[in-house]
Amino acid sequence: MATTPAPQAATRVASGGRLVFGRPEKAKGGRVLVRSCDNAGGGGNGRRVTVEAVNGAVKLNGAAAVADARQVPAPPPQSSVDGGGGGGDAFRLGKFVEGRLVYRQQFVIRSYEIGPDRTATMETIMNLLQETALNHVMCSGLAGDGFGATRQMSLRKLIWVVTRINIQVDKYSRWGDVVEIDTWVASSGKNGMRRDWIIRDRNTKNMIARATSNWVMMNRETRRLSKIPEEVRQEVLPFYLDRSIIAADAGGRKIEKLTDSMAEHIRSGLAPRWSDMDVNQHVNNVKYIGWILESVPLDVLEDYHLTSITLDYRRECRQSQLLESLSSMTTTSLPASAETPLPATSRCSADLHSTHLIRQQDDGAEIVRARAEWRCKEHRRAMKQP
């Protein structure tokens, strides 16, 4: 007959913040006693510490430490890296540079942020860009109660919505790499804002990606676009930096509409999930990347890196809507410039260009148009050479 292991009890040493475990013992009066010790290992100071927990009362080296293990005080808040503020800001690990005009943050590429080739995905990059932008607003002191909205925007029930984003990737980071992201904002016309980003490898300081985006305001209740109120303009004006990381003509070209007759691949029945929604009550702009890739041929995903993508957001998407993803792939023979449909046998023989559309399945209303560029992965190109 199997025996059940004796339960383990734990308490926290208030001075060191370590969890120590011991086997319960019987004490006088039917009390439960747990003893554990040793704070010499794991970088401790070499002193031996004995902790006793008797029915929740904690004694440190025989003296009462706290009345109850659950009442061990939390450590005081730490200031953020390089003076970015205290409290929750300490965990954002960001800082302002260039006179508070540029916000900089570092990220480690996690195991759940890489794809089958062990490099970060385009969705990962977009998520990191979005996180840096939101933390920029939070740490600037402008944040209201919205998703990146300022105080004056929140008073007027306004939110930011992205109309276009262009991302260019020179190199994809790998699992465990640390990237450094800079972001800043500037005006875009009379009633828009532009936000740019640079991504660098922290070790080499080489720029590995760049992005630019355009944003406008929308009333979160009426869902109608709005002009920028003067009060909001005065809030954000001190943070404007007139610097472009991508030339306007590089990402600003019109994306042609993709029709059924032009599309070579169509994927229907794509359903937004609850987790695809953000706090602005619509599908988050990053989620469209995954749906775009649903209609890209598997051979392309295996053999090519997505080196550039421009997304043109045309309307909101809610959870109740079924979607379709359309794609058209063309190849540019090197060094010729004429684009032709991608033959099945020309894998990695040339760089690729693609056009995409995400639309509502029931009425065909356009949600996102996209244009992308693809470069053959180096090991795949080597395999194709004679």
Which distant-in-sequence residues (6+ apart) come within 8 Å of 250 by Cβ? 166, 168
Residue whose C-alpha is closest to residue 115's, from 311, 274, 304, 297: 304
Q: Per DSSP, which regions of the chain are E strands?
A: 9-12, 19-22, 25-26, 32-37, 50-54, 57-60, 63-66, 94-97, 102-108, 158-169, 178-187, 193-201, 207-219, 225-226, 265-270, 304-313, 323-332, 339-341, 351-360, 366-376
HSE toward the beta carbon, residue 15, CA cutoff 13 A: 14
| Least confidently predicted of 37-46, 103-112, 207-216 | 37-46
Please say if 356 is a catalytic residue: no
| Residues near 49 by beta carbon (within 8 Å), at least 6 away in sequence | 13, 15, 16, 37, 38, 39, 60, 61
Tokens coding 270: 């794509």
Q: Report yes or no: 75 and 65 within 8 Å, Cβ to Cβ.
A: no
Confidence bin at 68 (pLDDT 50/70/90) = very low
Residue 92: pLDDT band by 50, 70, 90 thresholds?
low
Provide CB contacts within 8 A for 199, sequence distance 6+: 125, 128, 179, 180, 181, 207, 208, 209, 210, 211
Under DSSP, is residue 26 helix (H, G, I), strand (E, B) or coil?
strand
- Compute the distance between CA of residue 217 and CA of residue 183 in angstroms, rounded to an integer: 20
C-alpha atoms less than 13 angstroms from C-alpha of 83 in its C-beta half-sphere: 3
Instruction: Give helix then strand counts, H and E, for the chain.
Output: 7, 20
Q: Give the domains, in start order, of the chain with CATH numbers.
A: 11-37+48-55 (no CATH), 91-252 (3.10.129.10), 255-332+349-379 (3.10.129.10)
Instruction: Write phi, then psi, for 298 (nearest 5 degrees).
Output: -60, -35
Q: Is the pLDDT of residue 154 over 80?
A: yes
Any idea what DSSP says for residue 353?
Answer: E
Of the candidates 227, 87, 221, 235, the one whose C-alpha atom is nearest the C-alpha of residue 149 is 235
Which listed residue (136, 166, 317, 376) is catalytic? 317
Mean predicted confidence (pLDDT) in 175-196: 96
Catalytic residue among 39, 135, 214, 280: 280
pLDDT band at 252 (very low <50, low <70, confident <90, very high): low
Residue 56 has pLDDT above 70, yes or no: no
When pLDDT is averaged across residues 8-14 and rounded to a whole number, the result is: 39
Q: What is the structure's pLDDT at 47?
A: 46
Q: Six-digit token pair at 376?
A: 């053959």
Residue 317 appears among annotated catalytic residues: yes
pLDDT at 64: 52
pLDDT in tens, 319-340: 989 999 999 999 875 444 445 5
**Predicted structure pTM score:** 0.74
Active site residue 280: yes
**Whole-number pLDDT of residue 102:** 97
Higher pLDDT, 116 or 18: 116
Q: What is the mean pLDDT of residues 183-206?
A: 96
CA torsion angle for 268, 370, 165, 192 (degrees, to 10)? -100
